[in-house]
Structure 1
Amino acid sequence: MKRRHLLKYGTFAACGYGLAACQNLPAFKNSVTTEPPQPQPLMTVANPARLGRPEKTKLALGYAPTISVLPWLVAIEAGFFEQFGLEVSLYKQPNMAEVERGLLESRFDAAITPFSLPLMNQLKNPRIDFVALMQLHRHGGVFTLSQDSWNNKVRSSIDYTNFEEFKRDYRDYVRALPNRSFGVDSLYSTSAYLYRYWWAAMGFHPELDIELEEFAPSELPHKLQAKAVHGYCSLEPWAQEAVKKRQGYIGYLSSEVWRGHPGSVVTTDAGWVKENPNTAKLLIAASLMGCQYCQDSANAEAIAALASEPLDTHRSNIQTVLDGRYFYGGDGDRPISRKDSPIWFDLGKRLKAPDHANYCWHSHGIWLLTQMARWQHFGLTSYPDNADTLVAAAYPNDPYKEVAEAFEIKLPPDPLQPEPPFVDQRRFMPDQPVRYLNQFKIRT
């Protein structure tokens, strides 16, 4: 297969990985006798010219080594960026702090960040005007527990009837620990805020009773093996890495704490969008193509082969996240059928229409503000009076709206929506954030 581009990393070394570079997606070899699933055709823009000519054609994009980069790896190799007139170089950073630094120093035109990053930069003094162009996926966070937890008869969420049963076992285990150190791949990601929410729902103050330490994503399995932490919150493939090496197992998925929660986003600077409005739309369009490819489980084997080296992990750790056969570990691999973690692209199947995976809901930003205020992060001691302004600045949906219309994707009429019950059965209503915040007894 012809390589469309070479992937460039921060060292400026180049290396390419083969993937079918066409929209009539390939069937893959399968060692079993049953027929492999057939790839689905992709939605695209019939006339890319309607999105305009790119003001800037050569883009430097940053990322940390998690599965969030998969749509971009696909978009390079399958020629989706090229289809929209863009030439892209990807620059791998060890952690999210370095990705953010690359954006601050204008070394990257855009980067993959947590959904929370544009919003938290709106709160800084001086304010940093980062914006999210689109979501790359929903869900994706995993709470990995140590193998010692399993040996002490703590099981995965799927082994319990409800959260209360899990809470009883895990709370007793944690209370008996000589120290309570746990890891996160980014202290202020959406997954990390859900990790805090999960801890608080079990009766622990995550800022006082638990010590959360930030490590590079790829370091977390090693920290677990060395018993420097008793568990961690991360994006994949780093939970699967621990399962594969029998260092830990899946305790909870972030999607079990909040169904439909935001994942990673394409982040850039508001000034960059103003200077390059067409380029921003074309970047969104190519990313949407990559997201569609990732959603189709028939492509899991090809994507895993493509991404193994950039993510520096065995391809099986990637494939299991994509093909619906998710490994929970604890006692062997324990493959469980799951097709919702993450959700890369969805039009009314796993998410209720007109919700879809790539739209940035303002209500998600409002929820994050309640949690930032709950733990008094970024100078917030109460819910901010200018919350609507902050959220609208961090998540402007106009560029995405134009691209969605070109793809004939129906958008929600309102950027606010009530959320389904969280793991503690609380409901979040975006029009009542202060009332919601005041429900919580455990807070800073």
Structure 2
Amino acid sequence: MADATLTIGFLPLVDACLPILAHEHGFAADEGVALTFVRDVSWATVLDRLLYGHTDGAHMLAPLTIATTLGLGRPAQPLAAPFVLGLNGNAITLSKPLAAMVASPGEYGDPAAVGARLREAAMAAKAQGRRLRFGVVHRFSSHNYKLRYWLAACGTRPDHDVEIVTIAPPFVPDALASGEIDGSCVGEPWSSVCVERDVGTIVLASAQIWRRGVEKVLAVREPVLADKAEAFAALIRAMRRAGRHFIDPANFAENARILASPPYLDANPALVLRAISDRLVLAHGAAPVHLPDLMFQHSEAANFPWMSQAAWLYSQMARWGHTAFDPADAARAMRVFRPDIYRAALIDTGDDLPNASSKVEGSVTQMTQVGAQQGTLTLSANRFFDGLTFDPDQIEAYLASLP
């Protein structure tokens, strides 16, 4: 392949790390692809730049990639997600008074117990004529769907008992400080900024709601992916190398410094380091708390675009009235995730490749070796906190079973 250039759009979040580090450590150059970056402040702008051809690919919310393909909220444009940039990585951060009511500040709570107490607080506020308000980063975001999933499973009805509003990640600390919202679900470093500013307390991580839940993807317009297939295959290989580097504790400090620098997150390196090392400070002045796999960027085929994860996101769109369930749309949603592209890029590298492209989500409860097309693949628990599972072949039955 002749040298190629790809322009990547991103938001200042730690989980934009893999393309950035692929560039900074020379992995992309080794593969013959040069990367340039465009930083934005909102997901809507990242999407606009991608759709209008200002960028070739983007660090993107997985559900927004599906919604755009289905034409939800704007004219449909087919997008592809050939690479998952990360699993988990978000936190539920509440105002300090609310956090003190429902959790033990400075500790991760039990999702069911915190959810039950939050329901009591929500009902008390509603009885007084004011609904609690939570901020999420976009209507079509895993933040929104995981927050809703958790609330509903604990007896709180989103849109009835509480409000959910959209706030761009960099503005979440200001919204919490001003009292505009009572809590948020946002990616790092913005929950840590809330804690550092002493305007909020982290009570849960999204990994506690759905362990191994899909987060961001590399999103590409289908015509661009076809036109620049070799360059994107090279980028996939480079990002896999970046992921291996990223999860090595010996590299944590260096990668935190790179990501925190002005061209990228323009953030406090200490806060970025907390996220990279899975050791967040949950309350102002408290000691860091280690939650393994707070973020998950590489092992266990973390970057593989499982079509079943796309199907779960589509099920939540249907559940919450963002679209009417349609089997044809469910199939289209699943096809947004492109394991074929991922496999083709890595087939001769010795990297781990699953045999299957879909699985029953939430069904793995212990370390389990699974069939591999290449390499050896062991998956650890991927359960939902309420113990439910999701079969992508039974979406209608799944929806009918939910509260």
TM-score between the two structures when normalised by the length of structure 1: 0.80
Give 2:57's aligned residue. Answer: 110
2:20 is equivalent to residue 77 of structure 1: no
Within 5 A, what are the aligned runs for 1:352-363?
356-363=301-308
Give 1:99's aligned residue. Answer: 46
Give 1:146's aligned residue. Answer: 95
- Overall identity of the aligned pairs, in %: 25
Q: Retained in 2: the 8 A contact 1:136–1:291?
A: no
2:194 is equivalent to residue 247 of structure 1: no
* 2:81 alignment partner, SS class: strand
Distance 1:61 1:196 in 2: 30
2:77 is equivalent to residue 128 of structure 1: yes
Q: Retained in 2: the 8 A contact 1:184–1:233?
A: yes
The CA RMSD measured in Å over matched residues stands at: 1.9
Unaligned runs of at least 5 residues, structure 1: 1-52, 348-355
Within 5 A, what are the aligned runs for 1:179-258?
179-258=131-210
Q: Retained in 1: the 8 A contact 2:106–2:286?
A: no
* Partner AA of 1:190 in structure 2: S
2:217 is equivalent to residue 265 of structure 1: yes
Which of 375, 378, 381 in structure 1 is aligned with 2:324? 381
TM-superposed CA distance for 1:153, in Å, is 5.3
| 1:103-122 deviation per Cα after TM superposition (whole angstroms, max 9, x unaligned) | 11100000100122221122
| 1:10-38 deviation per Cα after TM superposition (whole angstroms, max 9, x unaligned) | xxxxxxxxxxxxxxxxxxxxxxxxxxxxx
Higher gyration radius (CA): 1
Q: Size of the alignment, in residue pairs?
A: 375
* 2:58 alignment partner, SS class: strand
Distance 1:432 1:340 in 2: 29
* Partner AA of 1:411 in structure 2: L
* Partner AA of 1:165 in structure 2: A
* 2:398 alignment partner, SS class: helix
| 1:351-374 deviation per Cα after TM superposition (whole angstroms, max 9, x unaligned) | xxxxx1000111111111211111
| 1:295-317 deviation per Cα after TM superposition (whole angstroms, max 9, x unaligned) | 12221111111122321321111
Distance 1:175 1:334 in 2: 32
TM-superposed CA distance for 1:419, in Å, is 2.0
Relative to structure 1, is the Cα distance of residues 313 and 174 closer, same or farther in structure 2, using a 3 angstrom cutoff? farther
Distance 1:388 1:373 in 2: 10
* 1:429 alignment partner, SS class: coil
Distance 2:88 2:136 in 1: 16
* 1:263 alignment partner, SS class: strand
Which of 325, 333, 336 in structure 1 is aligned with 2:289? 336
| 1:82-105 deviation per Cα after TM superposition (whole angstroms, max 9, x unaligned) | 111122111100111100000111
Unaligned runs of at least 5 residues, structure 2: 363-382
Q: Is the strand fraction higher in 1 or 2?
A: 2
* Partner AA of 2:324 in structure 1: T
Give 1:25's aligned residue. Answer: none
TM-score between the two structures when normalised by the length of structure 2: 0.88
Q: Retained in 2: the 8 A contact 1:157–1:163?
A: no
2:398 is equivalent to residue 439 of structure 1: no
Relative to structure 1, is the Cα distance of residues 211 and 298 closer, same or farther in structure 2, using a 3 angstrom cutoff? same
| 1:244-296 deviation per Cα after TM superposition (whole angstroms, max 9, x unaligned) | 22211112111111111112111111101111110110111112222222112
Distance 1:296 1:241 in 2: 24
Q: Retained in 2: the 8 A contact 1:297–1:324?
A: no
* 2:87 alignment partner, SS class: coil
Give 1:46's aligned residue. Answer: none
Distance 2:302 2:83 in 1: 9
Relative to structure 1, is the Cα distance of residues 215 and 76 closer, same or farther in structure 2, using a 3 angstrom cutoff? same
Q: Retained in 2: the 8 A contact 1:304–1:319?
A: yes
